[in-house]
Amino acid sequence: PRQNFQREVKKEMSLFQELDPQVRCLKMRERSLQKNARVGTMLEALRKLGCDPGPLDAFIQCASKQSHDGMAMTGGFESAPGTPRVVMIQEHLPDQSVFDRTLVHELIHAYDQCRAKVDWRNQRHIACSEIRASNLSGECEFLQEFNRGRLGFLKQQQTCVRRRAALSVTLQGVPDNEARQTVDSVYSRCYNDTAPFPQYHNRPAIQDLYSPSSLMTFGPFSSYSSSKS
């Protein structure tokens, strides 16, 4: 019976992979909005801050890589005056778990944008939000690092968060060494800022870098995440 179940699961996954990328992405979006607790927490937190995202099919969009210059990332938070959105790159989202982690990552950026007047051209601000997104999305949990071939038991989560946050800063055209130094300069405060997850929350240290705001503001920055590094 167990072998039959495993065969059925593999068959279902294979059929799912054969779907058109947009259809697959839309199905994963629907399931994530219905089932994923972290996604639900993030959306509710945005609403409580006065940043209701409105219709979720407009706020969270599936898009082709061609429409975003062939980008190799899994998703991004795009800021534009009055019309923020999360973009999920449908060709680079092979399964539900990758979709969910990417969506939470980008919602962390949306949350930071909502609660603070973030200057997305400021390396320290970018680094802080990337630290939080890498820490809280689940992308640095042990199994994810194991699947990447990065084995470590001592401070594995912290090491992963530092690496991935620095990588995101380099995507803004910042040299590697400078990106790592920027991440190090804000790491402790931002790693310990786990809002809006109260079960992990220590203190809102991100406010040391950002000026608080109850309104969502938008700058020229677009933050993109990758599941490969």
- Which residues are known catalytic residues? 106
**Strand arrangement of the beta sheet that strand 75-78 belongs to:** 60-63, 85-89, 75-78, 222-225
CA dist., res. 81 & res. 210, Å (int): 19
Beta-bridged to residue 85, according to DSSP, are: 78
Contact 32/39 with Cβ under 8 angstroms? yes
CA dist., res. 138 & res. 102, Å (int): 9
Tokens of 17: 């992979």
Length of the chain in terms of residues written: 229
Tokens of 123: 């390396």
Amino acid at residue number 204 = P
> DSSP per residue over 57-88, as a string?
HHHEEEE-GGGGTT--SSEEEE--TT--EEEE
Q: Which of 87, 197, 78, 86 is nearest to 136 (CA)?
A: 197
